[in-house]
């Protein structure tokens, strides 16, 4: 009996090891277990992460005064309490208008691992991406001059920038965006899936491991790979037309490619697809199988994959809502009748 038990344990360990190898051969990579390795992986050498920058970036991320209306912050659409998204089928921004292309807000969690930013991949990194929504008319609608005037009018912000960058820092719009990006680079959510790929064989249940294998065998990892389980540009609708393609006018980039969304914390980021037309994860899995892989996934296969995807729910960094510094007489005022 003892020998049988030992054999079963060894067999389970070998199966786990084999699946880890299979996953890595399919292009899947874990968030490193070592904190220093994560910091090295997520920091931009041209804009190194420091505690002072990250704390200041968090304040700016939550500050609605950076918007033209004084009501919309980065956290409005990328709500850190809601999986880093907003739960809307189309992002709602300036004057409470929906995105004109009916695009949903991608999660900001783990966006640091994306190869490109935005649904059309037009930004190469978070520093560049952070500049877009602040200025975009349908989002925060704020000119660069407005952002600079707000931040420079508040002594506490000026002091925080000097602490983060040195006494001679010039607080420009670009510097504000860079600082928000530093905070966003800390929004990494390691999960039990990462523990499994990092060698902890029992981190995933047998059902979750079966789901991972189905995920790999069916070809899902072809697009949802690397650390982000997404984040690269891929053709959309390879094997069939998306059933809600008529909602919004988004067609991808100039080559028709679409940035693959991350699957990390995917249980928290419904509704799904670029135009937010699919409400449930199981329906999203089936639709992806049909239009991307050319397969009709059975209910059992869909359930297996969904079970695995639930294991991607990661541990969120602890974020205390910042107390923002008071405005001054020099801070731009919002005219609600002429906005």
- Helices 281-288 and 299-310, interaxial angle, to 10°? 120
Is residue 208 part of the annotated active site? The answer reads no
Catalytic residue among 139, 287, 301, 306: 139
CB-based contacts of 301: which residues, under 8 Å, 6+ apart? 214, 218
- Helix or strand or coil: residue 321? coil
Residue 121's Cβ-side half-sphere holds a number of Cα atoms within 13 Å equal to 20
Give me the active site residues, please: 139
């Amino acid at each position: 009996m003892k020998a049988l038990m030992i054999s079963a344990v060894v067999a389970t360990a070998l199966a786990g090891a084999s699946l880890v190898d299979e996953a890595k051969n399919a292009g899947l990579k874990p968030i490193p277990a070592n904190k220093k390795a994560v910091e090295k992986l997520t920091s931009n050498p041209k804009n190194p992460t420091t505690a002072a920058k990250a704390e200041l970036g968090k304040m700016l991320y939550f500050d609605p005064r950076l918007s033209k209306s004084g009501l919309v912050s980065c956290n409005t659409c990328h709500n850190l309490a809601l999986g880093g998204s907003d739960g809307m089928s189309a992002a709602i921004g300036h004057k409470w208008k929906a995105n004109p292309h009916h695009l949903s807000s991608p999660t900001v969690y783990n966006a640091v691992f994306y190869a490109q930013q935005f649904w059309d991949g037009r930004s190469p990194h978070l520093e560049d991406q952070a500049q877009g929504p602040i200025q975009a008319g349908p989002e925060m609608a704020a000119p660069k001059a407005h952002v600079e005037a707000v931040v420079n009018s508040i002594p506490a912000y000026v002091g925080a920038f000097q602490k983060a960058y040195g006494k001679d820092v010039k607080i420009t719009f670009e510097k504000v965006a860079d600082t928000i990006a530093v905070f966003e680079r800390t929004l990494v959510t390691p999960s039990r899936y990462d523990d499994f790929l990092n060698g902890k064989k029992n981190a995933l249940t047998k059902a979750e491991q079966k789901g991972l294998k189905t995920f790999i065998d069916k070809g899902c990892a072809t697009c949802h790979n690397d650390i982000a389980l997404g984040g690269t540009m891929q053709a959309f609708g390879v094997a069939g037309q998306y059933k809600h393609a008529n909602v919004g006018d988004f067609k991808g980039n100039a080559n028709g490619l679409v940035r693959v969304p991350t699957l990390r914390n995917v249980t928290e980021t419904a509704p799904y697809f670029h135009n937010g037309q699919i409400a449930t994860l199981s329906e999203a899995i089936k639709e992806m199988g049909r239009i991307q892989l050319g397969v009709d996934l059975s209910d059992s296969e869909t359930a297996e994959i969904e079970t695995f995807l639930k294991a991607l729910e990661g541990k969120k960094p602890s974020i205390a809502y910042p107390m923002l510094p008071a405005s001054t007489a020099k801070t731009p005022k919002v005219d609600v009748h002429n906005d």
